[in-house]
């Protein structure tokens, strides 16, 4: 049960009463008559073979208010795409699977590359970007939600609470960020938020002084949550990163484009667990190590756009402040875990802090050494300006894949 505390300029919508899901869904059905709703599911093919996604699909079959579901499918062969069409076929909503590795979407991607408009690297950001483009190209949904496909504790109330702020006709929010406790199987999770982002933001404020952007990020209870929703008008103009910085990157875009009273965070689950990434201390291109580098790079770049001068001395100061602050947070989390009867390995926590401290310096070095690096995928408004027929062609390609392979399967 959540509290009702409000702090700062971002509205927090709590779960105060455990409202029955049927009651909330009945309201959403009424809202859908004025604000049609859509869901985006960015997925790897491997997730179709896991335990989480089959259960998510079964829950989505019960959702009465969604008009459409768009699934972005990465790392899939032709046979695997055929399998995905069958896998999602039971969903009663209008659904389409974007075969990102298929020849039709690859041809569009190649043309975008020729114009310097394609995502520079594969990953979740690229997948989400194409799904967003397809969703606005269809122009059928006013409220759009997105959540991950590896949530092992999923039930449909998560989606209802996530999309409700965008669907309610009397709400003026343009973006809602989901949050939830990261506790599962008697263990405190959420290492990157707890041990990197929170102490890093505090350290940056110590080094730079008061900063509106850092204060904005601080207001979110779980800034790395992969669950968020937005109104359709948000989508064309946002620029998102193609790497692990996606979630913070979208928050940064909302900070740039919208007043805080158009943004909220919403309590969407009492329990939440998903597939956990390996720390990958030996390889900065994988796991939580890569995630930490990408997040740091994104925050550093955003601070630079705000006029802050970042150099080697700055990064050394931030790393030193971070290390002290992060160790203090380890102590806080240890005590919190002990009082709640949860398991926590202080040695592993401090090893993670040491890795993140190294990666702060590594991300700073990349920032200084690569001033011409293009961190964001171009907005769909820019793409549409360069290629005015891109939206109908994108819809046509997805429909052609669907018709060819669903009929023959």
Query: 185: burial class by Cβ within 10 Å (0-12, 13-18, 19+)?
Result: exposed
Is residue 205 classed as helix, strand or coil in its secondary structure? helix
Contact 149, 42 (CB under 8 A): yes
DSSP 305: H
Q: What are phi and psi of 283, to 5 degrees?
A: -140, 110
- Establish if 125 belongs to a structural domain: yes
Q: Nearest 5 degrees, angle CA 178-CA 255-CA 139?
A: 70
* Spatial CA neighbour of 143 closest among 66, 79, 230, 272: 230
For β-strands 228-231 and 143-146, DSSP reports them as: antiparallel
- Establish if 358 belongs to a structural domain: yes
* Spatial CA neighbour of 197 closest among 162, 161, 247: 247
The per-residue pLDDT for 241 is 82
Q: Look up residue 368 and give its two tokens.
A: 């200084």
Contact 141, 389 (CB under 8 A): no
The per-residue pLDDT for 14 is 94
E strands, 251-388, where?
A: 263-267
Q: Nearest 5 degrees, angle CA 317-CA 321-CA 323?
A: 120
The per-residue pLDDT for 150 is 94
The per-residue pLDDT for 407 is 59
- CA distance linking residue 182 with residue 273, whole number of Å: 7
148: left (phi over 0), alpha (psi -120 to 50) or beta: beta
Residue 58, C-beta contacts closer than 8 angstroms, at least 6 positions apart: none
Cα Rg of the chain (Å, integer): 21
Contact 219, 10 (CB under 8 A): yes
**H-only helix segments in 7-121:** 21-31, 45-48, 52-60, 78-87, 103-114
Q: Nearest 5 degrees, angle CA 125-CA 181-CA 303?
A: 45
How far is C-alpha 75 from the geometric centre of its chain's CA atoms?
19
Q: Look up residue 409 and give its two tokens.
A: 């399967």
- Establish if 2 belongs to a structural domain: no
What is the chain's pLDDT, residue by residue, as a tens digit (409 residues)? 557 889 889 999 999 988 999 999 999 999 999 999 999 999 999 999 999 999 999 999 999 999 999 999 999 999 999 999 999 999 999 999 999 999 999 999 999 999 999 987 888 899 999 999 999 999 999 999 999 999 999 999 999 999 999 999 999 999 999 999 988 888 899 999 999 999 999 999 999 999 999 999 999 999 999 999 999 999 999 998 876 688 999 999 999 999 999 999 999 999 898 765 666 556 565 678 888 999 999 999 999 988 999 999 999 999 999 999 999 999 999 999 999 999 999 999 999 999 999 999 999 999 998 876 777 899 999 999 999 999 999 999 999 999 999 854 4
Whether this model's pTM surpasses 0.85: yes
How far is C-alpha 211 from the geometric centre of its chain's CA atoms?
24
- Establish if 169 belongs to a structural domain: yes
Residues forming a β-bridge with 144 = 38, 230
Range of the domain at 105: 11-408
Residues forming a β-bridge with 264 = 11, 176
- Establish if 4 belongs to a structural domain: no
How far CA 58 is from CA of 41, 154, 172, in Å, comes to 14, 10, 31
Contact 213, 303 (CB under 8 A): yes
Q: Cα torsion at 11, 321, 193, 275 (round to 10°)?
A: 170
* Spatial CA neighbour of 399 closest among 44, 102, 47, 93: 102
Instruction: Please count the other Cβ atoms lying within 10 Å of the Cβ belonging to residue 228.
Output: 23
- CA distance linking residue 16 with residue 33, whole number of Å: 27
Q: Look up residue 242 and give its two tokens.
A: 């193609």
Domain count, the chain: 1
- Establish if 5 belongs to a structural domain: no
CATH at 271: 3.90.550.10
DSSP 193: I
- Establish if 35 belongs to a structural domain: yes
E strands, 235-329, where?
A: 263-267
- Establish if 262 belongs to a structural domain: yes
């Amino acid at each position: 049960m959540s509290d009702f505390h409000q702090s700062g300029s971002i509205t927090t919508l709590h779960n105060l009463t455990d409202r029955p899901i049927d009651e909330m869904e009945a309201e959403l059905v009424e809202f859908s008559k004025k604000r049609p709703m859509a869901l985006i599911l960015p997925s790897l093919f491997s997730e179709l073979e896991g335990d989480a996604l089959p259960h998510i699909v079964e829950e989505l079959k019960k959702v009465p208010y969604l008009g459409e579901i768009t699934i972005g499918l990465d790392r899939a062969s032709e046979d695997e795409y055929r399998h995905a069409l069958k896998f999602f076929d039971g969903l009663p909503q209008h659904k389409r699977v974007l075969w990102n590795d298929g020849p039709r979407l690859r041809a569009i991607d190649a043309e975008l590359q020729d114009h310097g408009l394609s995502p520079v690297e594969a990953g979740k950001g690229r997948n989400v970007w194409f799904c967003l483009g397809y969703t606005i190209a269809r122009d059928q949904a006013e409220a759009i939600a997105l959540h991950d496909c590896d949530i092992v504790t999923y039930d449909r109330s998560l989606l209802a609470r996530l999309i409700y702020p965008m669907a309610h006709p009397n709400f003026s929010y343009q973006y809602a960020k989901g949050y939830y406790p990261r506790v599962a199987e008697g263990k405190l999770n959420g290492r990157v938020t707890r041990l990197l982002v929170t102490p890093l933001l505090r350290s940056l404020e110590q080094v730079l002084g008061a900063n509106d952007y850092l204060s904005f990020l601080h207001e979110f209870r779980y800034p790395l949550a992969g669950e968020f929703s937005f109104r359709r008008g948000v989508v064309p103009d946002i620029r998102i990163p193609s790497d692990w910085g996606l979630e913070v990157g979208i928050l940064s875009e909302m900070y740039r484009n919208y007043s805080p009273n158009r943004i909220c965070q919403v309590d969407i689950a009492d329990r939440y667990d998903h597939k956990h990434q390996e720390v990958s201390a030996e390889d900065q291109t994988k796991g939580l190590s890569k995630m930490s580098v990408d997040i740091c790079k994104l925050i550093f770049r955003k601070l630079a756009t705000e006029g802050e001068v970042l150099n080697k001395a700055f990064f050394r100061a931030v790393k030193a402040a971070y290390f002290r602050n992060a160790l203090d947070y380890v102590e806080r989390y240890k005590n919190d875990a002990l009082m709640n009867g949860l398991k926590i390995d202080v040695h592993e926590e401090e090893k993670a802090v040491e890795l993140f401290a190294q990666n702060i310096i590594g991300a700073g070095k990349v920032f200084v050494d690569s001033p011409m690096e293009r961190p964001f995928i171009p907005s769909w408004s820019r793409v549409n300006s360069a290629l005015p027929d891109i939206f109908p062609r994108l819809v046509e390609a997805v429909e052609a894949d669907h018709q060819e392979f669903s009929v023959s399967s």
